[in-house]
Structure 1
Amino acid sequence: MLDHRGLQDRRTRATAGARSALAGTAGAEAAAGSALPAIGTICLGILFLCTNDAVAKWLTEYYAPLQLVFMRNLIALPLVALLAVGLRGKGVLYTRHTRLHALRGALVVAAAVAFFTGLTLLPLAEATALVFAAPLFITALSVPLLGEHVGWRRWAACLVGFTGVLVIVQPGGETFQTASLLPLGTAVLYALLMLSARRIGSAESVWTLMVQVTFWPLLFSALVLPFVWETPRPEHLLGFAALALCGTLGMTLITQAFRMAPAAVVAPFDYTALLWATVFGFVLWGEVPGAWTYVGAGIIIMSGIYILFRERRRR
């Protein structure tokens, strides 16, 4: 026969355990719910950037990539500056890292020209998939450039990711195109851009970074513009405006998403770009990338996500 007090203790522990389980479930649901706005924000930002890429692919049929860089930043700079000043005041326009921002501006111009040129020669989905290699290059280049320590697991993930790149590019195969090196070059330049941001650190506002990364590409592209300039056609002016608006909104929303939730939560949704690139490419140009593009993209995506989670765990 059970002791009455022992039975009561068991009931008390069971009740406490049930409450703890319910509290844990409620906490997980609350955390998931709080992450939903950030996830929605980055997905919308990625949609805007993919729209920007689709518009750029259309406009490169008529204009040099460098002119697209100039027009995009010419229209975007007033928007970014007004938004930054409205949120943070005039001080956001000043920086103590002028030379570093100038270098980053040159990287932006080179990356944009490489990617826009690649869009003229490759399907939109394939070019997008190859740019996904940027996190792999960030990890690899952080060792010689920033002196960071990268463990064997992240090195292994990088090697697996580069295998995915080879699956897409297929060097030595019949389907190999040298144009594939252009979006790969974009990924390297983007990695250098992100690593240079670490040099600046958190001393400057993200809005200062956005103003500077719009101003310097405008200046550098303007210096070379006379050699490639084509007078814009009236029917293309709306396209240039869309290029600036979608690019600015995309970067702003993605930046905001990373402020709303941890990188490990929102960063994997960056890969929804492949979905939109496939849709835009098929609807607008009838592009149907080969199966190996998606196989390679899947390998790159899984490697990038693994590196992200290892980085989070290490910190």
Structure 2
Amino acid sequence: MTSPAPTHLRAIATDRPVLAILLMNLAVLIFTSMDGVVKYISEAYGYSTGEIVFVRNLFAFLPLIAYMLVVEKRLNLRTERPWGHVWRGLAGVSAMFCYFLSYQLLPLSDAIALGLSGPIFLTILSVPLLGEKVGWRRWSAVTVGFVGVLIMTRPGSGVFEIAALVPLLASLFYALAMISIRRLAATEQSTTIVFYFTLFATFTSLFTIPLGAIDPSFAWRWPQDWSELGLVILIGFMGGAAQIALTTAFRRASVSVVAPFDYMALVYGFLIGFLLFAERPDRYLIVGGAIVVASGIYIIHREAKLARERRRQESLPSLPVTQ
């Protein structure tokens, strides 16, 4: 267990909540699209979870290194917190394995719904681990958002089986990974954090190769044609781009502000399904989606108001102390 975050960490880049929310929405949209591709190649081609984690991270180096060279004008790999990156890597890779596995064990909507309990863990853990203060309004927004998720997916009793523990465990690991990102942000650049996580995940996923000799479901396979290879590369490219946006979002606002927008994953999933696969949402999905969007709009309004108040207080001249 790590110690609570120092005071200076809690003050890092917490005055740009709107930018953080926009970046988080972009990350969630790309991740949701990537999840659809992951589920497709798992079912259509039989890729194992370990191999998907490998290609997801190996090809994520393409957008990551390009971003570092073009935007940041340098390949910054210096770190003052190597063990912090190890902790972030362990939590992040564990979450990734569990998320991808849950897409194979459960219907996608059930897996996503259960996986979206991550913001609940994040909000709770941000208090003891980061020392953040979460008011009743944000607690209410998180709760309302989760209610919207339940309305949309209406998970039946069949969801709550042993397999349901997989996305819940993924959510817990995800929360720990995001907490570690927030702590690393005290000394590390966003892209440095993403680079070492991607490197860690690429190498650790290789340890699943011998499992193929024990269980064929763990066996790795080579892409058989260019279209299949293109899908494999696309997973990594999308994952890398989304990871950059996600990490930057958590540097620009507190965990409890950014985390609730994970709920938008279902909203984007429904839109992608309608536009690309002619899937029509029912009234429960529409009502639940409206609740999720409403909770997100309220958080934007609330955080923008608090940011204005902070700037106004900082601009006030200090008064001399009289005896």
Question: Does 1:246 find its partner at 2:238?
Answer: yes
Task: Give yes or no for contact 1:65–1:112 (8 Å, CA) kept in 2.
Answer: no
The answer to whether the Cα contact below 8 Å between 1:167 and 1:296 also exists between their aligned partners in 2 is: yes
- Post-superposition Cα deviations, 1:144-166, rounded to whole Å, max 9, x if no partner, equal 32333333444444444555566
Higher helix share: 1
Is the 8 Å Cα contact of residues 124 and 281 (structure 1) preserved in structure 2?
Answer: no
For residue 87 of structure 1, report the CA deviation from its aligned partner.
4.0
Q: 1:88: Cα distance to partner?
A: 3.7
Out of 91, 94, 103, the residue aligned to residue 78 of structure 2 is 94
2:58 corresponds to:
74
**Separation in 1, partners of 2:110, 2:168:** 11
- Match of 1:204, SS state, is coil
Shift of 1:66: 1.7
Of stretches 274-283 and 50-59 in structure 1, the one that deviates more from structure 2 is: 274-283
Q: How many Å apart are 1:175 and its aligned residue?
A: 6.2
1:114 to 2:98 alignment: yes
Could you say if the C-alpha distance between residues 184 and 282 of structure 1 is closer, same or farther in structure 2, counting changes exceeding 3 Å? farther
Larger Rg: 1
Does residue 56 (structure 1) correspond to residue 46 (structure 2)? The answer is: no
Instruction: Indicate conservation of the 8 Å contact 2:118/2:171, yes or no.
Output: yes
Amino acid at match of 1:232: W
Do the aligned partners of 2:32 and 2:268 also contact (CA within 8 Å) in 1?
Answer: yes
1:135 aligns with 2:127: no
Matches of 1:113 and 1:218 in 2, distance apart? 12
Match of 2:183 among 166, 179, 199: 199
How many residues align structurally? 281
Mapped contact 1:60–1:116 kept (Cα < 8 A): no
Could you report, residue by residue, the CA deviation over 1:103-149 in whole angstroms, capped at 9, with x for unpaired residues? 11122211112211222244444433444433332111112323333
Please identify, of 112-121 and 96-105, the stretch whose mean Cα deviation from structure 2 is larger: 112-121
Q: How far is the alpha carbon of 1:313 from its aligned partner?
A: 5.7
Structure 1 residues 114 and 290 mapped into 2: Cα distance closer, same or farther (>3 Å)? farther
CA distance in 1, matches of 2:73, 2:62: 15
Which residue in the other structure is 1:14 paired with? Answer: none
Note the C-alpha offset of 1:304: 5.8
Change (3 A) 1:192 1:292: farther
One-letter code aligned to 2:37: V
**Residues 260/146 of structure 1: CA separation in 2 closer, same or farther (3 Å cut):** closer
Structure 2 CA distance for aligned equivalents of residues 178 and 283 of structure 1: 33
Q: Does 1:231 align with 2:221?
A: yes
Partner of 1:13: none
Unaligned stretches of 5+ in structure 1?
A: 1-34
Structure 1 pair 246–227 and aligned structure 2 pair: CA distance change class (3 A): same
Scaled by the length of structure 2, what TM-score is found? Answer: 0.67
3-state SS of 1:63 partner: coil
Gapped regions of structure 2 (runs ≥ 5): 1-16, 213-218, 308-323
**Equivalent pair of 1:169/1:180 in contact (CA under 8 Å):** no
Q: For 1:249, give the aligned amino acid.
A: A
Contact preservation (8 Å) 1:264, 1:309: no
**How far does residue 179 in structure 1 lie from its aligned partner after superposition?**
4.0
Q: Partners in 1 of 2:58 and 2:300 — Cα distance?
A: 34
Partners of 1:215 and 1:191 in 2: CA distance:
20
Give the root-mean-square deviation of aligned CA atoms.
4.3
Point out the more displaced range, 305-314 or 130-139. 305-314
- Cα distance in 2 for partners of 1:70, 1:43 equals 25
| CA drift at 1:230 | 1.6
Q: Which residue of 73, 88, 91 corresponds with 1:104?
A: 88
Alignment of 1:1-315 (within 5 A): 45-61=27-43, 62-88=46-72, 92-164=76-148, 173=157, 176=160, 178-228=162-212, 229-235=219-225, 236-253=228-245, 272-281=264-273, 292=284, 299=291, 302-303=294-295, 306=298
State the 1:183 CA deviation. Answer: 3.2
1:214, distance to aligned residue in structure 2 (A): 0.8
Q: Secondary structure at the match of 1:93?
A: coil
Give the C-alpha shift of residue 269 in structure 1. Answer: 7.2
User: SS of the residue aligned with 1:232?
Assistant: coil
Query: How far apart are 1:244 and its partner, in Å?
Result: 0.7
Question: Percent identity at matched positions?
Answer: 37
Question: CA 1:276 to 1:68, structure 2 compared with 1: closer, same or farther past 3 Å?
Answer: same
